[in-house]
Chain A
Amino acid sequence: MSFINYASREISCKIVYYGPGLCGKTTNLQYIYAKTNPEAKGKMISLATETDRTLFFDFLPLALGQIRGLKTRFQLYTVPGQVFYDASRKLILKGVDGVVFVADSQIDRLEANIESLDNLRSNLFEQGYDLDKLPYVIQYNKRDLPNVASVEELSELLNPNRVPEFSAVAPMGQGVFDTLKAVAKQVLVELRKGG
């Protein structure tokens, strides 16, 4: 649910990074935070456990610029990927405008990716959203590791509808901004339709 404030001439959209535990969601936001000009970003908030696992969410506000005189803001959230935090994931999906699914490319995480994607779909459905109708992109992360499945294989498994997909190495930034731009663009195009 985007938010338009004519009084302050601002528009704000919510993008959620979803995916299995340790796939690299928080790392995506950390990289974006590190590489964004100070005037275009707010403080990054991470509600995490002592071992740096996301406990509730990470939050990063970005102010990218203006479109037709309206300040355009994106609020990036990550969910906690660990299976037992499902209640929190549902809460964070509320009001979502666009979704990034971060997949872990490692072969031994294939099952976890599928499970998480099913979980995304059903949690969205519970709130009246259809993943196939939302702005949505997929990122195949951890491409630098040796034991990874091929992108073709991942794509076949996780991306039957051929939404935009990106290979990434999040700590190095590879693919991180391409992913963000692609989903943000879709969100804006959706707004143009009068969403």
Chain B
Amino acid sequence: MNSSMVIYEDEFRQIADICERLRRDTSAKAVFLIDKDGQLILATGQYAHLDTTALASLTAGNIAATGGLADLIGEREFSILFHEGEHDSLHISLVASQVILVVMFGEETSVGLVRLRVRKVNEELTKIVQELMQKAKNPGADSPFAEISDEDIDILFS
């Protein structure tokens, strides 16, 4: 049950390329990929001024709450959320029911275009995410934590 989500270098680069392409194709300001538990996987675009840790946690909370609502009315999930602001908007969608894709965009583009492009990359991302989840199920012996000592742990808290 306590399986982890694990991201490796190769997949990370593939995912990053897809997100960056999505951002360019939609002229979006930024694209984020967030694990459903609220951990930021990656960010691309203009996000230096944003607290991405907070963004990740709130997005996950948002998806969790709307997922609860979906359940309540007998839906499996709401796969897309859209928050429209005066200047900037957020398009939030689920990938493989496990990872959250957030596109932040301004007046340079339209929600229609974003929605279209997101649908296109969703398949690509789904494939990679499913592979990662498969890998995480059989972590193998190469866990970096297999060899940590009690001292390593103590040092963290000294």
A residues bordering B, Cβ < 8 Å? 1-8, 11-12, 14, 42-43, 45, 47, 56-57, 59, 61, 64-65, 67-70, 72, 75, 87-88, 90-92, 94-95, 97, 128-129, 134, 181, 184-185, 188-192, 194-195
Is B53 within 8 A of A43, CB to CB? yes
Is B157 within 8 A of A3, CB to CB? no
**Per-residue 0/1 for B66-79: is the Cβ within 8 Å of any A Cβ (1 yes, 0 no)?**
01100000000000
Instruction: Answer whether residue B127 sits at the interface, using C-beta atoms and an 8 A cutoff.
Output: no
Q: Which residues of A contact B6 (CB under 8 A)?
A: 3-6
Work out how many contacts link A and B, with CB atoms closer than 8 A.
Answer: 126
For chain B, residues 1 to 50, give those with C-beta under 8 angstroms from any C-beta of chain A: 1-9, 12-13, 35-39, 41
Is A68 within 8 A of B152, CB to CB? yes
B residues bordering A, Cβ < 8 Å? 1-9, 12-13, 35-39, 41, 51, 53-54, 57-58, 61, 64-65, 67-68, 139, 143-148, 152-153, 155-157
A interface: dominant SS: mixed
CB distance from A179 to the nearest CB of B (A): 12
- In the complex, A142 Cα to B3 Cα: how many Å? 35
CB distance from A9 to the nearest CB of B (A): 9
Is A75 within 8 A of B38, CB to CB? yes
Is A7 within 8 A of B37, CB to CB? no
Is A61 within 8 A of B53, CB to CB? yes
CB distance from B1 to the nearest CB of A (A): 5
Is A67 within 8 A of B152, CB to CB? yes
Is B53 within 8 A of A72, CB to CB? no
A184-B37 contact in complex given A45-B57, A67-B152, A75-B57, C-beta closer than 8 Å: no
- In the complex, A137 Cα to B143 Cα: how many Å? 25
A57-B61 contact in complex given A14-B37, A42-B54, A95-B37, C-beta closer than 8 Å: yes
CB distance from B45 to the nearest CB of A (A): 17
- Partner pick for A65 among B38, B41, B139, B155, CB 8 A cutoff: B155
- Partner pick for B146 among A6, A87, A181, A194, CB 8 A cutoff: A194
Is A95 within 8 A of B36, CB to CB? yes
Is A3 within 8 A of B144, CB to CB? no
Q: Which residues of B contact A64 (CB under 8 A)?
A: 156-157
CB distance from B67 to the nearest CB of A (A): 8
Q: Which residues of A contact B54 (CB under 8 A)?
A: 42-43, 45, 59
- Partner pick for A190 among B2, B35, B65, B146, CB 8 A cutoff: B2
- In the complex, A85 Cα to B21 Cα: how many Å? 41
